[in-house]
Structure 1
């Protein structure tokens, strides 16, 4: 279950205005702030994500660089094959009896194996009957569960009923271990058991497992509980509210959750979803949008070649579908567009490209943004090429409630991929300041 990464490989579309505008002052023609590991920008971005996960035990740098060396640029089958090979090698290491004595060995190796299986899953969605759609996901899930079972306080998968009872919410609960630094600072007073808690939603039906490496591990290290969630189809306030209900009404959980310091975080397309949820769920003390999304269609339409976009917006849906599918079959679409077409239709459960684009027109926050009443961190990125300018729109609509932060330089990719340290320290500094009254209780 993951489509948030639909956004990621489109990040580095070379024709976007934002990328064209960032040429370095020394006239270096390379418009990117980092060394490129592939001349296929979509593959390069996935390698950047994979390298970033090394900070939290979700990858190893050498093996990722080995995949980057061996993958044939633009060749989806090559990409999938190399990641599966690494995932299986890492799984075998995780299963080695000599590693069983050490929970750190167990945890990190299973986290890496799970992550590599998820990377392999990126490019297998053109054919809905492809058995890899099931086997890769089963493999990543099983590996991830072994990893979180080896955390100091094991993570727990949850299945929560919706308030209406018509669907279930899949979630993972992570309880923060006692933060030693905070305990030593106040060693003469009893430790406060209730902790601030992050509620985390990923992007376009994305893997909640990815959120562990982006946000959960850094938050646990700072004494924050976390709960990640996935809903049926696209998460909305109908998904978020059952999660909050669970946190506040379940005794063994509510005992360690500070109800006054609940924070909602949405990543990528989740930056739209979290904003919409916050408009209807009043129990959050603050909201974080990485990044701010005003209108999803306006961003996604930028992936279309201009002639196809003209066809679609003229309402020539049958011709649009025929033409874009014909180009896909002939290998005439750029890699990022081919992947987006495959993955977007699969995740939205439609064979029709035009129906996919029509569905995403429903996602905009202009009609509800005035209902948000808590402080909001709005993340923007210098090299944002999916929703350029939209974080500023979100900030403008929220006024003084919002703090707009622009991540620059090597932290300036979409969702700060490859710069997790800078992103998380920025977020937690903002949270400390924003929730300073509550923090004074530690």
Structure 2
């Protein structure tokens, strides 16, 4: 028998990106959005630097599980089909992000639409909740959204509005937000904002730093929904939405409470922390042409980094290197966080790898209204958004929210 492997601390791959993605997916098993065995079997032979093999493993797993759903549908096993669609949508969503590392983006649109088709098939057939597809008025267009309600619920329900991160899927939101809320009797509204998922891939919209221009119309729409307690509406933001929700709360004060998972004060540090000091100096001096020249030269020899940059930069619009970072640098809440008056819970995981220390910074900026909740490696709850501890995260988040909204669950 082999000795102790320290799998949790060593990880599931020596490729840090692969390892973190596996942790996210395995954590989703808690909500039924993944099955541990089929995930580990699918990635078992993928080598750490095999980007094509990584994409292929997730895309083929999505196809296989979607095929299970088809077979269940043919035999009228509706619940089994819906559960398989949920898992397939998760695996396809991982393949969407995996496509960013490929030499060509030809497969991106196809696998994204497979993901969204599986997701919509799940929400149309699930017995876990009553689901309503909605179109949320936003400027001159609409945002696609989904309203989940506990089956058989009556009366005016507390409502949680979930905002996604920079590249998260709606299936991931099911695992990190919707599932736990439904268990506790909440209605939940999730949506694609500008630059996110279908709004990016199908409509070519871009992110915006002033998220109050997004969350306020979403809240206006939510307050008009039937069966919602207008006095008990809360906001939740995961990953980069830790910035977006915080920013919106500085201007939008109608929420009864809010959760950011984790706190994000300055989005740009997740970009600039990887750059040499010499390049940052060029950026700070406004020498954009020199910055772009040096970036282009450096990325010419780092194809993986170049592809990753292109994928991360796409939601900000067709900009040059310096222009992209100038735009990302607008995504800071440091100058407006003091305006937040909404009770705010901030998660703070040990070994946060994207915005280390920023949960504590946000808590300090909002100390009159905020509650900082640490998560540790000893609890199995480290890394960005506590991927392998979503049950524990739900317990702490929703116990706090229940108390703020006076919900008994």
Please indicate, yes or no, whether the TM-score normalized by the shorter chain is above 0.5: yes
1:39 to 3, 10, 14: 14
In structure 1, the residue matched to 2:190 is: 228
In structure 2, the residue matched to 1:137 is: 112
Distance (whole Å) between structure 2 residues aligned to residue 360 and residue 128 of structure 1: 25
Residue 75 of structure 1 and its aligned partner are, at CA, apart by 2.3
Task: Note closer, same or farther for the CA distance 1:329–1:242 as it changes in structure 2 (3 Å cut).
Answer: same
Does residue 196 of the first structure (1) align with residue 162 of the second (2)?
no
Q: Report the secondary structure of 1:240's partner residue.
A: helix
In structure 2, the residue matched to 1:398 is: 366
1:211 to 156, 159, 173: 173
Does residue 427 of the first structure (1) align with residue 403 of the second (2)?
no
Distance (whole Å) between structure 2 residues aligned to residue 126 and residue 48 of structure 1: 19
Distance (whole Å) between structure 2 residues aligned to residue 52 and residue 35 of structure 1: 17
Q: Report the secondary structure of 2:272's partner residue.
A: helix
Deviations 1:341-396 (A, max 9, x none): 13112222325222221111001112221221121001111111221121111111
**What residue ranges of structure 2 are gaps of 5+ in the alignment?**
195-205
Deviations 1:142-182 (A, max 9, x none): 000111112234423222112xx323222111112247xxx
Q: Report the secondary structure of 2:268's partner residue.
A: helix
Residue 60 of structure 1 and its aligned partner are, at CA, apart by 1.3
Distance (whole Å) between structure 2 residues aligned to residue 338 and residue 47 of structure 1: 23
2:223 to 248, 253, 264: 248
Distance (whole Å) between structure 2 residues aligned to residue 109 and residue 327 of structure 1: 43
Q: Report the secondary structure of 1:141's partner residue.
A: helix
Distance (whole Å) between structure 1 residues aligned to residue 102 and residue 52 of structure 2: 13
Q: Report the secondary structure of 1:296's partner residue.
A: coil
Does residue 365 of the first structure (1) align with residue 333 of the second (2)?
yes
Residue 310 of structure 1 and its aligned partner are, at CA, apart by 4.3
Distance (whole Å) between structure 2 residues aligned to residue 292 and residue 393 of structure 1: 8
Q: Report the secondary structure of 1:161's partner residue.
A: strand
Residue 78 of structure 1 and its aligned partner are, at CA, apart by 1.6
Give the TM-score, by structure 2 length.
0.88
Task: Note closer, same or farther for the CA distance 1:126–1:421 as it changes in structure 2 (3 Å cut).
Answer: closer
**What residue ranges of structure 1 are gaps of 5+ in the alignment?**
1-27, 180-191
Residue 309 of structure 1 and its aligned partner are, at CA, apart by 3.7
Alignment of 1:372-391 (within 5 A): 372-391=340-359
Deviations 1:391-436 (A, max 9, x none): 1111111122100111111212101112111111110111122223
Task: Note closer, same or farther for the CA distance 1:126–1:100 as it changes in structure 2 (3 Å cut).
Answer: same
Which structure ranks higher in relative contact order (CA pairs < 8 Å, sequence separation ≥ 6)?
A: 1
In structure 2, the residue matched to 1:16 is: none
Q: Report the secondary structure of 2:250's partner residue.
A: helix
Alignment of 1:57-68 (within 5 A): 57-68=32-43
Distance (whole Å) between structure 2 residues aligned to residue 60 and residue 360 of structure 1: 36
Deviations 1:50-77 (A, max 9, x none): 1111111211111211233122212221
8 Å contact from structure 1 (residues 205, 230) kept in 2? no
In structure 2, the residue matched to 1:24 is: none
1:160 to 104, 118, 136: 136
